Amino acid sequence: MIIEIISLFFISLGCVMMFTAALGILRFSDIYMRLHASGKAGTGGTIALLAGVLIRSGFTEISGKIILIMVFILFTGPITAHAIARAAHVHSGATDEIPFHEVKAEEKKEDEEDDN
């Protein structure tokens, strides 16, 4: 009985975290904020969800596979978010000589000039 409650808690926690990650992706406007929402909540939500499944299934032959999946997600989630953020940063045109916020300011000036 107590194992079912604990597993249900972790599964519910994982679902709530995944839902907040989805809301963050839809709500935030900047790619970096979207990556933060999806990276943190997505990885944590998946780990919590799989932990709940691991507790519910007990220690069987499936538990080894679940643990391997959890370790894989724990390592690849942040690496993927970092790779996407780096690609977005390189694509934005920001370099060591020109900081990122100045590139965005130049784009806003060009947009305002185009509107006039």
pLDDT tens track, the chain, 116 positions? 899 999 999 999 999 999 988 888 888 888 888 888 888 888 889 999 999 999 998 888 888 899 999 999 999 888 888 888 888 888 776 555 555 555 556 566 666 666 66
- Alpha-carbon gap, residue 52 to 17, rounded angstroms: 13
Q: Which residue has the tokens 């390189």?
A: 90
Q: Which position has the token pair 């690609």?
A: 87
Helix (H, G, I), strand (E, B) or coil at 82: helix
What tokens does 82 get?
């970092």
